[in-house]
Structure 1
Amino acid sequence: MSAAAHVPPPTPTERVVNGPTPKHAQLREILRRSVERELPPGSPIPSERELAQQYGVSRLTVRSAIGKLVEEGLLARVRGKGTFTAARRMELQLYLMSFTDDMRRRGLAPATEVISTSTEVPPVTSAHALGLAPGVPAHRLIRLRRADGVPLAVERGWYHADRTPGLLELDLTRSLYAQLADEFDLRPDHAYQTVWAESADRETARLLGMRTGTPLLVFRRVSSANGEPVEDMTSWYRGDHYQVTMQLDRSIPGSDTINSTEQPHYGGTR
């Protein structure tokens, strides 16, 4: 084993043996325990050849075990360098806060790259969300968001042009919510947000530095200020860096209605 690999030698209870549980599943759980209990984020793991020798299994078995942990976001492959323990997932906050403020609150350095801007007629769903009549244009803004240099999210948003005149002439690498407040006296105070999972398309994967088809968390948020819709934004977040935790409570005693609110504690990375 190389000096850079830190997975300890197997104990008698961590050996891969013949039995009803497939060897790749046994090895996967051994590696999972090592990653979760002993290895900090960014630690290298042994090569496939070294793990195969260490646990007495084939390289195909090792590849299968590692591949599953990569899919789960516990390990990350870096081309030409090897496999490393992934950064712990950040909790994705479900309250109204700008990405810039959220990253600074976490002690990370936020950065924004403007991919494109335009003023054009939005799709019907966005026009409806913004309260626009058919054929009325809106501002279109696409940005890539980073934290400590790591690309985390792609944002594609539509903005009500009449309520945000000159929006696209502003410094859009800065916090958009701060500029909405400063320039237009608009402070988003209410939003509807929908969450789903999606595989990265080619363009989104390219921007995030990921493979096409990689799992993403997608959030569509329609935000209002003073009771008027201002923003219809969809954000694609890296699934290997984020997770969402919610606390479920019955909102009305004796009813079957369940409301969900974000539980404000960390379980990984944002």
Structure 2
Amino acid sequence: MGRSVLKHVRVRDYLRSLVTHELAVGDTIPSERALCERFGVSRMTVRQAVDALVVEGLLAREQGRGTFVAPGKVDLEVRLASFGEEMARRGMTPSSEVLSAEVVEATPDIADALDILPGEMTFYLHRVRFADGEPMAIEQSWLPCRLVPGLFDGDVPQSVYGELRRRGLEPDWGEDVVAATEVHAADAELLRVPVGRAVLRLSRRTFAGETACVYSRSVYRADRYVLWVPLRAPRRALTPRSGNPSEAQALPPAQEQGDGTPADPAMSGVAT
């Protein structure tokens, strides 16, 4: 068993060195047969080494294409910033393709997220977000018309947060809910990934003070993002504002346990 593990590690380290020093993103790795002959190992050992690097995110597999060097992942930090601000911070060039920009009535779920009445008019913006020309995410946003009148009168704003600030609404806090799912056909085509590929779905409520100003739903390519969440020592516990996991508020200290957790674990939530 020890020798088998050693062989697997040798193949894995060789491939990692190739990826780091010789191959470029999108280049295919040597064939299983070539690796078997080079190291005198079985196909099972080679597959074990390759699988380890696929899990690490260094390699990727696609049917009909084989195994190749994967693009590097961008850390999706849980912070209140626009897509453009995040990409620019990483030295990447952001751009967008607007799929739809229209005025629509708020459905009950959208109204609930924005703290408005169902049927109230909202600006709806549907975009594909790119970084260095590569599709990274699909984003749908809703904003109450009464907060940002005339939002679509001219060109669609490049940055929703920037437009809010220009109008005196400073997005200063928000709430995120993140789930890992598989991408369906329509989104897969926009993101240029196979149907069924893993994606991160993020729902966000953005506030300016106590005013809910934006509700957004985004689909991020999981092969290009890793979720990064900074942690601090516990302060005040958080619990949903109205029973919805996406709506959280701080409990007063009297309602916390001695270790800082909520008195009712079933009501705990996450806010950013």
| In 1: Cα distance, 2:169 partner to 2:58 partner | 40
Match of 1:171 in 2: 155
- Whether the 8 Å contact between 2:174 and 2:204 is mirrored in structure 1 is yes
Aligned residue for 1:132, secondary structure, equals coil
Taking structure 1 as reference, are residues 46 and 186 closer, same or farther at Cα in structure 2, changes over 3 Å only?
Answer: same
Structure 1 residue 233, shift from structure 2 partner: 0.3
Could you give the per-residue CA deviations for residues 131-166 of structure 1, whole angstroms, max 9, x where no partner exists? Answer: 221222312111111111111111011111111222
What aligned pairs does 1:49-68 form with structure 2 within 5 A after superposition? 49-55=33-39, 66=50
Q: Which of 211, 222, 241 is equivalent to 2:205?
A: 222
TM-score, structure 2 as length reference = 0.74
Q: Which residue of 1 aligns with 2:19?
A: 39
**Structure 1: distance between partners of 2:37 and 2:17:** 22
Q: Distance in 2 between matches of 1:170 and 1:181?
A: 17
Q: Which amino acid aligns with 2:221?
A: R
1:108 and 2:92 equivalent? yes
Counterpart for residue 248 of structure 2: none
Alpha-carbon distance in structure 1 between the residues aligned to 2:97 and 2:147: 24
Q: Give the 3-state SS of the residue equivalent to 1:169 in structure 2.
A: coil
Q: Quick one: structure 1 residues 45 and 134, their matched pair in 2 at CA, closer, same or farther if it must change by over 3 Å?
A: same
Return the alpha-carbon distance in structure 1 between the equivalents of residues 105 and 67 of structure 2: 45
Indicate how the Cα distance of structure 1 residues 65 and 202 shifts in structure 2: closer, same or farther if over 3 A, else same: farther
Name the CA distance, whole Å, in 2 between partners of 1:39 and 1:240: 17
Shift of 1:65: 6.3
Which runs of 5 or more structure 2 residues have no equivalent in the other structure?
A: 237-257, 263-268
Uncovered stretches (5+) of structure 1, i.e. residues with no partner: 1-18, 263-270
Structure 2 residue 57 is the aligned partner of structure 1 residue 73: yes
Mapped contact 1:100–1:110 kept (Cα < 8 A): yes
Match of 1:147 among 108, 131, 146: 131
In the superposition, relative to structure 1, how do residues 230 and 30 fare at CA in structure 2: closer, same or farther (>3 Å)? farther
1:257 pairs, out of 253, 261, 265, with 261
- The change in CA–CA distance for 1:217 and 1:36 in structure 2 (over 3 A counts) is farther
How far apart are the structure 2 equivalents of 1:70 and 1:44?
A: 13
Counterpart residue identity of residue 211, structure 2:
E
TM-score by length of 1: 0.74
Residue 227 of structure 1 deviates from its aligned partner by 2.0
Count of aligned pairs: 241
What is the match of residue 190 of structure 1? 173
Query: CA 1:45–1:224 in 2, change beyond 3 Å: closer, same or farther?
Result: same
Aligned-pair CA distance for 1:205: 1.0
Assess if the C-alpha contact under 8 Å between 2:28 and 2:66 holds in 1.
yes
| AA aligned opposite 1:229 | A
1:156–1:68 Cα change, 3 Å: farther
Contact between 1:112 and 1:173, CA under 8 Å: does it hold in 2?
A: no
2:142 counterpart residue number: 158
Q: 2:194 aligns with which of 197, 207, 211?
A: 211
Aligned to 1:5: none
State the identity as a percent: 34
Match of 1:235 among 204, 218, 226: 218
Instruction: Please name the residue that 2:254 is paired with.
Output: none
> Cα gap change, 1:241/1:57 in structure 2, threshold over 3 Å: closer, same or farther?
same
Higher relative contact order (CA 8 A, sep 6+): 1
**Rounded Cα–Cα distance in structure 1 between residues aligned with 2:180 and 2:213:** 25
The superposition leaves residues 67-126 of structure 1 with CA deviations (integer Å, 9 ceiling, x where unpaired) of 675466331347876532222322112111121122112111111111112222233221
Measure, in 2, the Cα distance between the counterparts of 1:194 and 1:61: 40
C-alpha change, 1:178 and 1:212, in structure 2 (3 Å) is same
Q: Identify the range of structure 1 (75-84 vs 229-238) with the bigger mean alpha-carbon deviation.
A: 75-84
Q: Alignment partner of 1:195: what SS?
A: strand
Provide the C-alpha distance between the structure 2 equivalents of 1:56 and 1:174, rounded to a whole number of angstroms. 56
The one-letter code sitting in structure 1 at the alignment partner of 2:145 is A
